[in-house]
Amino acid sequence: DTTGAYNLTPDDILITGKTGMLIAGPNSRKHEMLLVQYLQLHGRNMFLRVFFARVFILGDELRKLRTMIENHEKDPTTVNRVRSRLGKAARDVILLTETVGYMEDSLVDEVLPPVPAPADLAGKELHRILNNDFLIHNLKKRVRDLQKNIQGCANELGSLTRMTDVINSRQVEDVVKGVEKNT
């Protein structure tokens, strides 16, 4: 899917698409660093879209676990199933936290040095169209949002773990009381 076509100069053209771009003309190789930086940022952008979806899947799983915990009286095996799923969710939170940290590190200026605006007409127009500075700013904001979402999931995970511990303690107390009553 194409998202735009731009005449950089009378001889140079840029065509952007959903997953890449095509630049053609005699000056196309002149601005390779700017294009490489844009493609790096675009790749990170595509990754963050999928990553956001994964974080929301985790949040949905935690909501389902909360419902299971709230209705634990209906099924005596709920605690075991919840503990198993909480373990998997904990592993997911750890991996997501590490991954978003790596993404944040990849956006640091030392790793992604700023590319100055070129002096020629095609370069200036390309710099304006690609707007890499805005992409970097936007990606950094989205990474901060992801960190907050993951921290929220970690907090919810801790809360669900404590709720499960309380239910487990109550079940043990009930068993002990039942044994005492019978003996």
Residue 112's pLDDT band, with cuts at 50, 70 and 90, is low
What average pLDDT score do residues 77-88 get? 92
Q: What is the pLDDT of residue 66?
A: 94
Question: What SS3 class is residue 20?
Answer: coil
Q: What is the pLDDT of residue 98?
A: 97
Q: How far apart are CA 182 and CA 167, in angstroms?
A: 23
Closest by CA to 54, choosing from 96, 107, 101, 5, is 96
Q: Kindly tell me the sign of the dihedral angle through the C-alpha atoms of 53, 51, 131, 133.
A: positive
Residue 10 amino acid letter: P
Q: How do 21-24 and 13-17 pair as beta strands?
A: antiparallel
What average pLDDT score do residues 80-92 get? 95
What average pLDDT score do residues 55-80 get? 92
The pTM of the whole model exceeds 0.95? no
Q: What is the pLDDT of residue 108?
A: 83
Residue 5's pLDDT band, with cuts at 50, 70 and 90, is very high
What average pLDDT score do residues 5-19 get? 89
**Per-residue pLDDT tens for 61-70?**
999 999 999 9
Residue 111's pLDDT band, with cuts at 50, 70 and 90, is low
What average pLDDT score do residues 141-145 get? 96
More confident call, 165 vs 109: 165
Residue 79's pLDDT band, with cuts at 50, 70 and 90, is confident
Residue 47's pLDDT band, with cuts at 50, 70 and 90, is very high
On the question of pLDDT at 113 being above 70, the answer is no
Phi, psi (degrees; rounded to nearest 5) at 7: -90, 110
Q: Do 11 and 27 contact (CB within 8 A), yes or no?
A: yes
Q: How many CB atoms lie within 10 A of CB 143?
A: 20
